[in-house]
Amino acid sequence: MEKIQDALTRIVGAENVCGDPKVLSEYSQDKSFAPGLPPRCAVRVHNAGEVGAVVKWANETRTPLVSVSSQAPHYKGDTAPGVPEAVIVDLSGMKKILSINRKYRMAVIEPGVTYGELLKALAGEGLTLSVPLATRAGKSVVASVLETEPRLNALHQWCDLDPLRCVEVTWGDGNRMFTGEAGGSVMDLEQQWKEDKWQWEPAGPMMLDFYRLLTGAQGTMGIVTWASVRCEIMPQAHKAYIVPARKLEDLVDFAYNVLRLRFSDEFFIMNNTQMAYLMADKAGEVDGLKEQLPPWMAVVGIAGREILPEERVAAQEADISEIAQNCGLKMPEAVGGISAEAVLRKAARPGGDASWKEIYKGAFQDIFFSTTLDQTPKFIQAMGSLSSQEGYPVCDVGVYLQPENMGASYHCSFTLPYRADCASETGKTRELFVKASMMFSRMGAYYFRPYGIWSRLQLNKDAQGYQVLQRLKGIFDPNGIMNPGKLCNY
């Protein structure tokens, strides 16, 4: 242990190497059901040079590395070491916003920059960035876009990886690279900006979109030290509505028609349970909110930007209202004592340090996957039947449906709250999580973000794809040092 700390101290300095067992125990396990192991030590890095030196040392010593950029707590198991004697590479101190360009609507940021920090800086330039649903204050923007977390405004998402564009990566073999448009020029951002190149185009360099190898990979290919993200003009006018329904099927045609015509900005669907979790300020308010709210709700936000903002909002407001009427639905600004504007304020802004899903029972586990909207009722029905069978209260299952990539697919998420201090309740929820995950896989769910056991469930369906992933892993991380035990080497 002393020799390892000495070697890392020469790279990052003694103050940035931690071997305290108490601190390391916090890295060994997150709040998911995924297993974890204590790391050997943790190092805080501050630039690409230090990252490259750590990766080179890890290859020489065959030491596993696990990169972490978001602040604790973590919830998906991807940052908990899957093998013993790993070293945590903590990127949360890399907090530079390297560039904001309003003309091209681009920002270049380091992995320690959180949503709250970036949104504040963008606002000064009249820009903004769509966020995942009520994301945590300490969530790294770079980690979020690499994980392809669903965003609230699917109609501005031109592919599943948007708004991510270019990155700087140190691959597992130690090679440093700029991807996309940035990879076609000198490896110096300042020089590229002087040449009016703003890391906008993600494809390349050459014929391979290297950034795709990093998305959803859980840090198993390399370590990203900056990323460019596409931003949006800040709205000048905005209105929000809630479309209530007795059952989900009543909202399917409405959602398809709204998104097909490219209406709305924010758009998502929730059951009353999930909405109560989102809007409650304390656990005692959840049950009362559920009783007040309709069983299902679509939340619709309409934004007007620089050109005729009020007119754009009014036109879309009238058209979406007509679509709702044609589907036998209404579009009020509030239901059950909750306004749509309040919902979007909560949904579209970074929240506290912990997840809002913990408010009801103190702990939770999510099951999420990609599917199409017409398939979601069968998954919801199956989840209700299995929950009842396993003795888990069906009324506690929160459901959240988020269109992705202009509505081409939907993020389908089930939230299962439980009391972590109750062994029987924790065990029951864990059993339901495993059985439901397997059931959804058999039903055709696509685990687009395959954390934990979902990696095995998804990759076992595609032997050729699994073999390709293993070969790519062998090319970019030949010694298998990058977060081993996750994804393609489960």
Q: Where in the chain is the domain with CATH 3.30.465.10?
A: 97-233
Confidence category of residue 156, pLDDT binned at 50, 70, 90: confident
Residue 1 has pLDDT above 90, yes or no: no
Residue 2 has pLDDT above 70, yes or no: no
Summarised one tens digit per residue, pLDDT across range 366-400 is 999 999 999 999 999 999 999 999 999 999 999 99
pLDDT at 367: 98
pLDDT at 320: 98
Q: Where in the chain is the domain with CATH 3.30.43.10?
A: 2-92
- 277 is written with which tokens? 């979790």
Fold of 2-92: 3.30.43
Q: How many CB atoms lie within 10 A of CB 273?
A: 25
pLDDT at 489: 60
pLDDT at 125: 96
Summarised one tens digit per residue, pLDDT across range 283-312 is 999 999 999 999 999 999 999 998 999 999
Residue 488 has pLDDT above 80, yes or no: no
| Percent of residues, the chain, with pLDDT higher than 70 | 99
pLDDT at 419: 97
pLDDT at 490: 47
Confidence category of residue 158, pLDDT binned at 50, 70, 90: confident
CATH classification of 97-233 is 3.30.390.10, yes or no?
no
Summarised one tens digit per residue, pLDDT across range 67-120 is 999 999 999 999 999 999 999 999 999 999 999 999 999 999 999 999 999 999
Q: What is the pTM of this model?
A: 0.95
Per-residue pLDDT, averaged over 214-225, amounts to 96
Confidence category of residue 207, pLDDT binned at 50, 70, 90: confident
For the chain, give the mean pLDDT.
Answer: 95
Report the candidate in 246, 275, 419 with the shortest Cα–Cα distance to residue 340.
Answer: 275
Greater confidence (186 vs 207) lies with 186
Residue 159 has pLDDT above 60, yes or no: yes
Confidence category of residue 471, pLDDT binned at 50, 70, 90: very high
